[in-house]
Amino acid sequence: MMLYIACFIFGLITGSFLNVCIYRMPRDLSIVSPSSRCVSCGTPVRFYDNIPALSYILLMGKCRQCKAKLSVRYPLVEFLNAVLYVLVLNRFGYDSPWVLLVYFAFTSSLIVIFFIDLEHQIIPDSITLPGIPLAIILGSTILPDPFLRVESLGFKASITGFLAGGGGFYLIAILGRAILKKDAMGGGDIKMMAMVGGLLGWKGVILTTFMGSLLGSITGVSLILLKGREWGSKIPFGPYLALGALAALLWGEDILRWYIY
């Protein structure tokens, strides 16, 4: 129990840093300096006002200095990251600490991608470009196959996943452009799926794509019916791919067993 509590607290703390990344990355700002500050008045945030989740509650969601309303996204990201860390620990707790750290980092990167693409419709290269070679290296060496826990992923499966994710989505982009005469797939999605494939293998690519497409379709139809959006309206695909990748990582083995049996 203490390990899960420590993991949850670690997730909250890391989630606080993710909020910095989500705000600064799409604006091409440094995620290292300056220190956290109110986006409304620019006042640096005191250390006791920067306690994950708790400070938001104590400040009643407002800046101490200018009383501007703080986005509810801040505690949401921190809490979401903490919960996902606990789920990763529960799923991969019997593997090495290095495996846990890799999957923690992967989970956090998906959260950052989700919120940035949702708001700005971009997936930062600063996440995916270094993430692709790291995914292949780690997938080829220390990571298990998330669908077959008794086996390691290995070089062949990692490379196949990389080609299936990046190559498959690149092909979709080319065909979509030729048939629809407009961009059907963004470059960020292609690079993201190459990274996902390197870490999760080709089975992870298939499940991520299926779950992402299903969730995206449900959301798109709902927006059309409830919000009056037009057919063909552009919606970011990255958030749904991120949710699909999380499903593949955490429940891929269970989904595979359910499908087979």
- Cα distances from 215 to residues 22, 77, 79, 247, in angstroms, run 22, 20, 22, 12
* Average predicted confidence (pLDDT) for the chain: 89
CA dihedral 36, 42, 46, 52 (to 10 degrees): -50
Q: What is the pLDDT of residue 261?
A: 59
Confidence check: pLDDT of 232 > 60: no
Helix axes 187-227, 238-260, angle to 10 degrees: 90
Spatial distance between the Cα atoms of 160 and 201, rounded to a whole number of angstroms: 7
> How does residue 138 score in pLDDT terms, banded at 50, 70 and 90?
very high
pLDDT, tens only, 179-214 = 766 766 778 999 999 999 999 999 999 999 999 989
pLDDT, tens only, 90-118 = 999 888 899 999 999 999 999 999 999 99
- Cα distances from 186 to residues 4, 119, 245, in angstroms, run 38, 15, 17
Q: What is the pLDDT of residue 139?
A: 94
pLDDT, tens only, 39-79 = 888 788 888 778 888 888 888 888 888 888 988 999 999 99
Whether the Cβ atoms of residue 207 and residue 247 lie closer than 8 Å to each other: yes
Indicate the helix (H) or strand (E) that contains 151: strand 148-152
